[in-house]
């Protein structure tokens, strides 16, 4: 899919994925595994490089593909990809919390936090939350040869 930036983000999903007309044309439910596999393909095959990729997933819960997502997190843990999951909407985030602590990864390449106080959180606090585990991942990924820079 084409990249998106600050100039073309409005209605990007509707323009890019014109699916069924129910629910505003976006279909039903989440499909994180397909998106994650596409991201892994992009940064390991199409545009491999030494720079780390920091991927943010916003979710209102409803994640049900835990085995597939777990497999993709484990697979990508030997690559230059860090996954930041952010929960919105005071939902049941149990699966996301489990993914944050997933065993079997080469390096811990994911973090989760709930952002149910979006209207009250300062920019500084938001950035602290977003980059809570990322520096640790950078260090460990460099130590284990996942990152070369």
**Quick one: 107 exposed, middle or buried, by C-beta within 10 A (0-12, 13-18, 19+)?**
buried
Residue 25 banded pLDDT, cuts 50, 70, 90 = very low
In terms of Cα–Cα distance, which of 90, 94, 95, 144 is closest to 119? Answer: 90
Task: Report if residue 54 sits inside a domain.
Answer: yes
Same domain (yes/no): 52, 119: yes
Are residue 106 and residue 131 in the same domain, yes or no? yes
Helices marked H in 3-79 — which ranges? 12-16, 32-41, 66-76
Strands 110-114 and 81-87: parallel
Report pLDDT digits (tens) over 32-87: 889 999 999 999 999 888 789 999 988 877 777 889 999 999 999 999 999 999 98
Same-domain status, 19 and 2? yes
- pLDDT > 70? residue 115: yes
DSSP run (H or E) holding 82: strand 81-87
Q: Are residues 59 and 91 in the same domain?
A: yes
Number of domains the chain contains: 2
Q: What is the pLDDT of residue 93?
A: 77
Question: Whose CA is closest to 146, among 22, 53, 56, 7?
Answer: 53
CATH number at residue 122: 3.40.50
Alpha-carbon distance 40 to 6, whole Å?
Answer: 23
Domain that holds residue 23: 1-29
């Amino acid at each position: 899919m084409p990249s998106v930036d600050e100039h073309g983000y409005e209605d990007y999903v509707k323009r890019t994925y014109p699916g069924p007309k129910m629910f505003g044309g976006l279909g039903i439910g989440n499909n994180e595994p397909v998106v994650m596999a596409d991201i892994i393909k992009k940064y390991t095959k199409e545009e491999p490089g030494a720079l780390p990729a920091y991927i943010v997933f916003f979710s209102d819960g409803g994640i049900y593909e835990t085995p597939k997502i777990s497999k993709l997190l484990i697979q990508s843990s030997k690559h230059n990809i860090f996954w930041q999951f952010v929960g919105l909407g005071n939902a049941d985030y149990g699966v996301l919390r489990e993914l944050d602590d997933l065993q079997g990864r080469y390096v811990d390449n994911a973090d989760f936090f709930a952002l149910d106080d979006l209207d009250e959180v300062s920019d500084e606090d938001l950035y602290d939350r977003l980059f809570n585990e990322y520096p640790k991942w950078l260090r460990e990924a460099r130590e284990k040869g996942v990152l070369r820079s």
